[in-house]
């Protein structure tokens, strides 16, 4: 075999001065062959982005880089910035995580593509460059490229911007495309589109792709080979099937087992991978994973294991001294990370059938104003447009949908406990519109909220004791009682009671979210509103928090309103599911039923967009891809609001299409759930062609 396209050898990157050095990358070696798709997976802080930024030569000058990066026969570390600039953008292209900050807001998309073209090929004429820009936008699937080429980045949606980024990346037929978390900021439906475009771009240019991500599911369906990074090193490297079927490094095993899986049965409990990666400033001696590894023994703490081939296979290597044992089967993988036992459910759950939360036709609109001197209303955003659902005692309702579908507005309406703009909200059977201020304050102890970002939701200036006790101060609970209850709460959520006098920044993400849960639970509420409680957490700690939520529900008989965009998580935790689209619920019913047999085309598309962490499943399953983006909520839409993106609509005969265009489908009961689609009874159509 010839020399690989990219060979990174013993790459080390260190930041910081004499006092405190951060060893972000510690001896990373990998190869990328021509036309290969390599996935680099790791948690935040594992050095995956830094190692790729080093390949691009884009690290800040304060970084100390050593080792070797050979690209196409040249040593990149020996080149100066000017020489690197010639390679960047023409031979190596990069796609960044946030397409809004990666595109210059003051130039049109077309100008930015043309700039990339002309920089590397001075002979190209303006007309030819423009023609090529239009062609590229067409390739990445931007509708109407002739017109859109003159649009500015802010006129594009997130998904379209990322497409434009890919267009710029492939403009010069690069040999290597580095995509750094290209879909993390996007919704699942858009993510599926972008991954498709990335595959297409790879086919057209024949380029090799390095995809950096934290999501094993994304890698499963796309990559040929996967490298797993941990604490600045590659700890396992294997072809994708091999890695998912027979991982040899305990970290990879734990990561795979901790992921909620859409395809797995709901009853199965998640396997937590607790703790957090070591600080890169002061690494412990020996294997950096040893502190979190259930299979670690004394020898693990002696010396850091090297990345060695596993079981004689040339293409599979792992950095673990017990890799051979694991590969041969003498140390069984499920034994390393056993599935935790289920907790006994508190008796008398679901006896009372009276709903604890009931929303009936709730609407919330926001005026859109224009003008500075004379402000006038130019339109109305219907953020929530007639939402009805109810939650029974001891059950969980999962509220899912893309961003912009009105999930958050809905729960904020609920949490205000005030009179809704339109419709009615009842908590514990009491209509919130009728409450006095004192009653409302009393009712607040019945319903509590846990926010998405555990760092933002905890006041950084307060100690954990004060944070958790805050809801108690409202009702004037005496100080010693507060202390006692906080200690009990900390224990309940799996933290040491002695942590009470620490500050939030001393905790890891998962622990902070536990503090947030403890604060919500201290007033012994009946209802907990969870606004994306695990989406800001690393995959490995998600499982622990989800298990905790399940245990608490069983022990305390809580009801959850669980808002999430991650369907695999909802699949795991919810009893009922409500799918939101453009401010309304399009499908609502028991979770098992909906997940096994979705009736609304949007639900189907949403489900099929979720990547499954199993390469075999990913390759074989048929996909329902959604076209385009969520329409602007400003638009006046007649007929079915989902029509513009509906995969079913395009397949319908004309007379039926007319009904979709003219008549807004009402919610009606089909197969034991509520659906807003005229054709929900139809057998599932096949749109995967």
Partner 1 sequence: MTSIDPTTTTVDTDADSAASAPADTRHGVLRRTFSAKRAWIGAIVLALITLWAFVGPLLAPFNATDSDVLAFGAPPGNGHWFGTNDIGQDIYAQTLVGLQKSIIIGLIAGPLATLIAGFVGAIAGYFGGVVDRVIVWVIDLLLVIPSFFILVLISPVFKQLSWVALVILIAVFSWMVMARVVRGQTMSLRERDFVKAARYMGVKPFTIIRRHIIPNVASLLIIDATLGVGAAIIFESTLSYFGFGIQTPDVSLGSLLAGYSGAAVTRPWLFLLPAATLVATVLATSLLGDAFRDAIDPTSGANRD
Residue among 140 and 458 whose Cβ is closer to partner 1: 458
For residues 350 and 554, is the Cβ–Cβ distance under 8 A? no
Q: What is the largest CA-CA distance in the chain?
A: 79
What character string, x for contact with partner 1 (CB under 8 A) and - otherwise, covers 19-58? -x--------------------------------------
Residue among 507 and 595 whose Cβ is closer to partner 1: 507
Chain positions 392 to 451 lying near partner 1, rule: CB under 8 A, are 415, 440-441, 444-445, 448-449, 451
Compute the distance between CA of residue 513 and CA of residue 536 in angstroms, rounded to an integer: 9
Chain positions 473 to 492 lying near partner 1, rule: CB under 8 A, are 473-474, 488, 491-492
Chain positions 231 to 270 lying near partner 1, rule: CB under 8 A, are none
What's the chain's Rg over C-alpha atoms?
A: 27
- Considering only 276, 316, 364, 599, the residue that binds partner 1 (CB under 8 A) is 276
Cβ at position 389, least distance to partner 1 in Å: 20
Closest of 513, 524, 579 to residue 547, by C-alpha: 513
Cβ at position 271, least distance to partner 1 in Å: 8
Phi (first) and psi of residue 179, to 5 degrees: -110, 115
Residue among 237 and 511 whose Cβ is closer to partner 1: 511
Residue among 2 and 18 whose Cβ is closer to partner 1: 18
Compute the distance between CA of residue 167 and CA of residue 95 in angstroms, rounded to an integer: 10
Residue among 142 and 489 whose Cβ is closer to partner 1: 489
Cβ at position 494, least distance to partner 1 in Å: 4
Compute the distance between CA of residue 305 and CA of residue 586 in angstroms, rounded to an integer: 52
For residues 266 and 279, is the Cβ–Cβ distance under 8 A? no
Structure tokens at 621: 């399953």
Chain positions 190 to 209 lying near partner 1, rule: CB under 8 A, are none
Cβ at position 417, least distance to partner 1 in Å: 8
Name the 3-class secondary structure at 72: coil
CA trace torsion 108, 112, 113, 117 (10° rounding):
140
Residue among 281 and 638 whose Cβ is closer to partner 1: 281
Residue among 7 and 440 whose Cβ is closer to partner 1: 440
Q: Which segments of 305-376 does DSSP mark as H helices, in order? A: 323-328, 333-336
Q: List Cα–Cα distances, 412 to 409, 419, 420, 451, 529, in angstroms.
A: 5, 12, 11, 11, 10
- Considering only 66, 83, 144, 282, the residue that binds partner 1 (CB under 8 A) is 282
Chain positions 492 to 511 lying near partner 1, rule: CB under 8 A, are 492, 494-496, 499, 502-503, 505-508, 511
Residue among 175 and 276 whose Cβ is closer to partner 1: 276
Residue among 416 and 635 whose Cβ is closer to partner 1: 416
Structure tokens at 117: 């073209």
Compute the distance between CA of residue 676 and CA of residue 386 in angstroms, rounded to an integer: 12
Chain positions 116 to 155 lying near partner 1, rule: CB under 8 A, are none
Cβ at position 338, least distance to partner 1 in Å: 8
> What's the first-to-final CA gap in the chain, in angstroms?
37
Chain positions 526 to 565 lying near partner 1, rule: CB under 8 A, are 544, 547-548, 551-552, 555
Chain positions 444 to 463 lying near partner 1, rule: CB under 8 A, are 444-445, 448-449, 451-453, 456-462
For residues 549 and 272, is the Cβ–Cβ distance under 8 A? no
Q: Report if residue 671 touches partner 1, rule: CB under 8 A.
A: no
Taking contact as CB under 8 A, which single stretch among the options 208-216, 271-279, 428-436, 477-485 is the one that binds partner 1? 271-279
- Considering only 343, 617, 637, 652, the residue that binds partner 1 (CB under 8 A) is 343
Residue among 266 and 441 whose Cβ is closer to partner 1: 441
Total residues contacting partner 1 by CB under 8 A comes to 55
Q: What angle do CA 136, 138, 144 make, to 5 degrees?
A: 130
b vs e for 525-548, b when ≥16 Cβ sit within 10 Å of the residue's Cβ? bbbbbbbbbbebbbbbbbbbbbbb
Cβ at position 120, least distance to partner 1 in Å: 35
Cβ at position 340, least distance to partner 1 in Å: 5
The set of long-range contacts for 512-515, using a CB threshold of 8 Å and a minimum separation of 24, is 512/454, 512/455, 512/458, 513/450, 513/454, 513/537, 513/545, 514/545, 514/548, 515/454, 515/458, 515/464, 515/467, 515/468
Cβ at position 305, least distance to partner 1 in Å: 22
Name the 3-class secondary structure at 528: strand
Cβ at position 420, least distance to partner 1 in Å: 16
Taking contact as CB under 8 A, which single stretch among the options 34-42, 210-218, 515-523, 655-663 is the one that binds partner 1? 515-523
- Considering only 106, 312, 329, 341, the residue that binds partner 1 (CB under 8 A) is 341
Residue among 516 and 665 whose Cβ is closer to partner 1: 516
- Considering only 471, 589, 598, 647, the residue that binds partner 1 (CB under 8 A) is 471
Name the 3-class secondary structure at 639: coil
Closest of 625, 624, 622, 626 to residue 643, by C-alpha: 626
Q: What is the DSSP letter of 627?
A: P
Helices and strands in the chain, H and E counts: 25, 24
Residue among 273 and 609 whose Cβ is closer to partner 1: 273
Cβ at position 467, least distance to partner 1 in Å: 8
State the residues that interact with partner 1 by CB under 8 A: 20, 272, 274-276, 279, 281-282, 340-341, 343, 415, 440-441, 444-445, 448-449, 451-453, 456-462, 470-471, 473-474, 488, 491-492, 494-496, 499, 502-503, 505-508, 511, 516, 519, 523, 544, 547-548, 551-552, 555
């Amino acid at each position: 075999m010839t020399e690989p396209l990219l060979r990174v050898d013993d790459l080390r990157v260190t930041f910081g001065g004499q006092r405190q050095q951060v060893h972000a990358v510690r001896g990373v070696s990998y190869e990328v062959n021509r036309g290969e798709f390599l996935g680099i997976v790791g948690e935040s802080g594992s050095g995956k982005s830094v190692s790729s930024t080093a390949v691009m030569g884009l690290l800040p000058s304060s970084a100390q880089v050593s080792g070797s990066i050979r690209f196409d026969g040249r040593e990149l570390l020996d080149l100066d910035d000017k020489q690197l600039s010639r390679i960047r953008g023409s031979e190596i292209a990069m796609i960044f995580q946030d397409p809004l900050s990666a595109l210059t807001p003051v130039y049109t998309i077309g100008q930015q593509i043309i700039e990339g073209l002309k920089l590397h090929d001075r002979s190209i004429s303006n007309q030819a460059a423009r023609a090529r820009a239009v062609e590229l936008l067409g390739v990445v699937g931007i509708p109407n490229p002739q017109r859109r080429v003159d649009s500015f980045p802010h006129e594009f949606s997130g998904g379209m911007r990322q497409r434009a980024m890919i267009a710029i990346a492939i403009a010069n037929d690069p040999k290597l495309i580095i995509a750094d978390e290209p879909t993390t900021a996007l919704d699942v439906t858009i993510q599926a589109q972008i991954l498709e475009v990335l595959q297409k771009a790879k086919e057209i240019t024949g380029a090799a792709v390095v995809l950096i991500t934290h999501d094993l599911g994304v890698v499963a369906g796309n990559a040929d080979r996967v490298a797993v990074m941990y604490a600045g090193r590659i700890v396992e490297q294997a072809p994708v099937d091999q890695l998912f079927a027979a991982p040899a490094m305990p970290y990879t095993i734990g990561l795979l087992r901790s992921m909620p899986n859409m395809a797995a049965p709901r009853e199965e409990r998640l396997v937590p991978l607790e703790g957090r990666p070591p600080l890169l400033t002061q690494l412990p001696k020996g294997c950096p994973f040893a502190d979190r590894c259930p299979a670690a023994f004394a020898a693990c703490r002696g010396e850091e294991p090297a990345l060695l081939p596993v079981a004689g296979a040339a293409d599979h290597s792992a950095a673990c001294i017990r890799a051979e044992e694991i590969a041969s089967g003498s140390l069984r993988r499920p034994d390393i990370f056993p599935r935790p036992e289920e907790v006994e459910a508190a008796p008398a759950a679901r006896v009372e059938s009276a709903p604890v939360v009931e929303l009936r036709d709730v609407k919330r609109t926001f005026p859109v104003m224009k003008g500075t001197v004379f402000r006038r209303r130019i339109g109305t955003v219907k953020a929530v447009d007639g939402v009805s659902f109810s939650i029974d005692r001891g059950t969980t309702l999962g509220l899912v949908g893309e961003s912009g579908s009105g999930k958050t507005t809905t729960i904020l309406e609920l949490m205000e406990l005030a009179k809704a703009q339109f419709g009615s909200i009842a908590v514990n059977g009491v209509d919130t519109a009728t409450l006095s201020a004192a009653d409302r304050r009393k009712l607040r102890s019945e319903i509590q909220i846990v926010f998405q970002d555990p760092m933002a939701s905890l006041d950084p200036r307060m100690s954990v004791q004060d944070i958790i006790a805050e809801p108690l101060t409202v009702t004037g609970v005496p100080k010693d009682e507060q202390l006692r209850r906080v200690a009990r709460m900390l224990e309940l959520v799996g933290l040491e009671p002695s942590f009470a006098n620490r500050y939030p920044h001393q905790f890891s993400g998962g622990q902070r979210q536990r503090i947030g849960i403890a604060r919500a639970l201290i007033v012994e509420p009946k209802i907990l509103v969870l606004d994306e409680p695990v989406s800001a957490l690393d995959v490995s700690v998600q499982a622990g928090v989800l298990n905790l939520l399940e245990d608490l529900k069983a022990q305390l008989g809580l009801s959850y309103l669980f808002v999430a965009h991650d369907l695999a998580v909802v699949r795991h935790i919810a009893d009922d599911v409500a799918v939101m689209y453009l401010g309304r619920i399009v499908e609502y019913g028991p979770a098992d039923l909906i997940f096994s047999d979705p009736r609304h085309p949007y639900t189907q598309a949403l489900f099929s967009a979720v990547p499954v962490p199993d390469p075999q499943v990913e390759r074989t399953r048929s996909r329902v891809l959604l076209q385009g983006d969520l329409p602007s909520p400003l638009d006046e839409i007649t007929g079915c609001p989902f029509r513009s993106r509906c995969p079913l609509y395009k397949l319908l005969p004309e007379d039926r299409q007319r009904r979709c265009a003219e008549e807004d489908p009402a919610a009606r009961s089909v197969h034991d759930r509520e659906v807003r689609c005229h054709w929900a009874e139809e057998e599932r159509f096949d749109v995967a062609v």
